[in-house]
Amino acid sequence: MIELKTLNKIYNKGKSNAFHALKDIDFTVSQGEMVAIMGPSGAGKSTLMHVIGTVDSFENGVYLFQGKNVGLMSEKRKAALRAKKIGFVLQDFGLISDETALSNVMTPLFFGKARLRDMKAKALQALKAVGIENLAKKKVKNLSGGQKQRVAIARAIVSDPVLLLADEPTGALDTKTSAEIMDIFANLHQKGKTILIVTHNDEVAAQCERTVQIVDGKIIE
């Protein structure tokens, strides 16, 4: 489903502060796989997720998403691809804290043309899938860390994407809540989702089918 071939990412290319963040990356992920991405801080894990999520550009090499060449896509096409096929779970949750859980989860649906009523139903279904439909009307700022992480996952799955990208989804959570969040991912994996999880935690990685190590911008399998 995802194929990266000798892909390179250089921040601030051509400037004095240029930084070679991904070096000759070869990386393939099959449909339905659950993969952990590990490595030291600054190694390039988030950069890799951003490139795979099509929000960051890359310099050379090839990126194929379901056989389609991402490097040749316009920004508009990439935005459409993201909206339909990719769900992001961010470490800092990326939620709007003054809005309710429900309206946060509904946000990605505004990209499409569904009716408000249908969007609400879908968002409630996603909140139910992560076990917090009872918190739909609560503002995100009044939720706990684990609850916020669930809202972030609900938002990532509300459009029923084929690929889920999670950047340290349990980084800010205690052991018990982490295990609960990992159960949600395991469940989504069982339902056929392809999942990439960046983590510093060996227990989280152990729950994935395989682990990829990144060190200094290079993948060491």
Ligand X SMILES: Nc1ncnc2c1ncn2[C@@H]1O[C@H](COP(=O)(O)OP(=O)(O)OP(=O)(O)O)[C@@H](O)[C@H]1O
The contact set with ligand X (CB under 6 A) reads: 11-12, 19, 21, 39, 41-47
**Nearest approach, Cβ of 51 to ligand X (angstroms)?**
10
Q: How many residues bind Mg ion (CB under 5 A)?
A: 1
Contacts of 154 (CB under 8 A, 6+ apart): 101, 105, 123, 126, 127, 129, 130, 132
Partner in contact with 47, chosen from ligand X, Mg ion, none, beta carbon below 5 to 8 Å by kind: ligand X
Q: End-to-end alpha-carbon separation of the chain, Å? A: 18
**Beta strand pairing status for 194-198 and 163-167?**
parallel
Contacts of 218 (CB under 8 A, 6+ apart): 23, 24, 25
**Nearest approach, Cβ of 46 to Mg ion (angstroms)?**
3
**Nearest approach, Cβ of 8 to ligand X (angstroms)?**
13
Q: Name the one range near Mg ion by CB under 5 A: 21-29, 39-47, 52-60, 69-77.
A: 39-47
Taking the least distance from each CB to ligand X, the nearer of 13 and 77 is: 13
**Nearest approach, Cβ of 59 to ligand X (angstroms)?**
13
Taking the least distance from each CB to Mg ion, the nearer of 46 and 147 is: 46
Contacts of 11 (CB under 8 A, 6+ apart): 17, 18, 19, 21
Helix 145-157 to helix 116-129 angle (10° resolution) is 130
Taking the least distance from each CB to ligand X, the nearer of 21 and 86 is: 21
Taking the least distance from each CB to ligand X, the nearer of 37 and 132 is: 37
Using only C-alpha atoms, the chain has a radius of gyration, in whole angstroms, of 17
**Nearest approach, Cβ of 167 to Mg ion (angstroms)?**
6
CA-CA distances (angstroms) from residue 119 to 9, 114, 156, 202?
37, 6, 14, 37
| Residue 199 is a binding residue for Mg ion (CB under 5 A) | no
Taking the least distance from each CB to Mg ion, the nearer of 3 and 168 is: 168
Contacts of 216 (CB under 8 A, 6+ apart): 23, 43, 44
Pick from 22, 46, 127, 150: which binds Mg ion (CB under 5 A)? Answer: 46
Q: For binding to Mg ion (CB under 5 A), which residues are involved?
A: 46
